[in-house]
Structure 1
Amino acid sequence: IFDDGWDDRLGNWGFSKDFPNGFSKLKRAAERYHAQLGIWLSPWGGYNKPRDERVSHAAEFGYELSDGKFALSGPVYYQNFHQKVMSLIKDQGVTHFKFDGTGNADKLIEGSRFTSDFDAAIHLIADARAANPKVFINLTTGTTASPAWLFFADSIWRGGGDINFYGPGSRVQQWITYRDAETYRSIVKNGPLFPLNSLMLHGLVYAKQAKHLDRQSPQDFADQAWSYFATGTQLQELYLTPELLSGQNWDLLAKAALWSQ
């Protein structure tokens, strides 16, 4: 899955100069391993500086805004966003979308045929599935703990921060505790009928750029791996810097992943 950083930040969701041929070569490489491509897209434009850069071009293209972010239900912006999603499916072979930050659920944009940004997202997802019935939709920030989302998406965000720390023990143990506590607080308590296997939990983390999670003992890594795969989530994310993992780590990771199947 290509996370935030693949686009040119002009607001059109075009490829950056780092991808002069789009994903064509990467698609062929992935297929050699029986894998397919996924991508991060933010209907409202993303977060922090990258979002500000994208939104700064809104007037240039006539894109509609709401609360300083792109409005997916805006007629002009929706047309462009819809076109990009269809192209990513048909031309780039993308089969997994993380739609991160959908927008408002109660504002009507002038001239829109949609009642809200979420109404626009529902129609967009329907068209994406029509283009490829096997496409996986991860609808994240902005969703709530309602199983009604699963009429449209395959998974939603558990809520809270991406990574945080809570309770006793090492940083890894604190991260595991936070992950599970946030899932209980945001999902289990607020939506007891929501199936936990349809959540994005923010995965297994052992990476250079992950604060406090760039160093882990063998036991901490094992605890994180087994506890994560034991959640039963169908969206199994691995935020890993390969060179940090030892042979023992890789073997354990494979064992836990196979066990979860």
Structure 2
Amino acid sequence: MGGAGYCVQGEGPNMTDRGYEKSVAAARGVRLVEEPAIAGAPKRPLIQLDNLSKRYGGHTVLDSIDLEVMSGEVVAIIGPSGSGKSTLLRCINYLEPPDGGFVTIGDITLSAAMPASSTELARLRRSVGMVFQSFNLFPHMTVLRNISLAQERVLGRSRKEAEERSMQLLKRVGLGDKAGQYPARCSGGQQQRVAIARSLALDPQVMLFDEPTSALDPELGLEVLAVMRELAETGMTMIVVTHEMSFAENVSDTVMIMADGRIVEKGPSTEVMRNPQHERTKRFLRAVHDR
């Protein structure tokens, strides 16, 4: 990922910010030409957020967020309730359209200043899988059908192909024997693992997790965390909003602390968790450890 660059045809290749570069190109009515990868060139991030903002009325929920996530990186986002963590995830996949800035996933860049087309949104969401606090499974469909349906509708796979892929993923998350069950017959931890398999079935480049264990008791939460750890070990790019401090420190590569709609600290997981530099981070971690 990230080996190719872009230049504005007729303008020269000296513009380096992909988000602004592409928006300027669109405004000028020129097209971007993908250049061949250059050996030794620095890798571009798989996810890039530039000056991302979100407001609800007079309340600013996200205040000029800049973030880069490299391919294969796992970023854990922690912080107090109401700090904008979940909203950030929803803006990345445009479930909540941002009010300002740019979102880039791979070779897709969307600008808040330009309404996204249905085609652009479909491409973006095809690249990004998301797992929510609630499982959002169809109760009238079997586990197998819950995972297969989107593959047929979105990817155009045949029912046979979709079911074969679904069974591979169910076995991967330890639920190969639950294919014919309905969600109500599965525990919360099992339902969340089905939801993860459903997201993986569309072959996303990125997985977003919004407090995936918050609705589960600790034992069932461990089942889900084990699957997420396995995904991390196999190189899946992940952004995880979590209150699981052990996961943040021991599984993620980077920890990012948010408060009041801003990133207050970000760095290697062990360093941030054990030796935070910002006073707001220190106060939050003290509160978590004192519980």
Q: Whose RCO is larger (CA < 8 A, sep 6+)?
A: 2
**TM-score, normalised via structure 1 length:** 0.31
Q: Which has the higher strand share?
A: 2
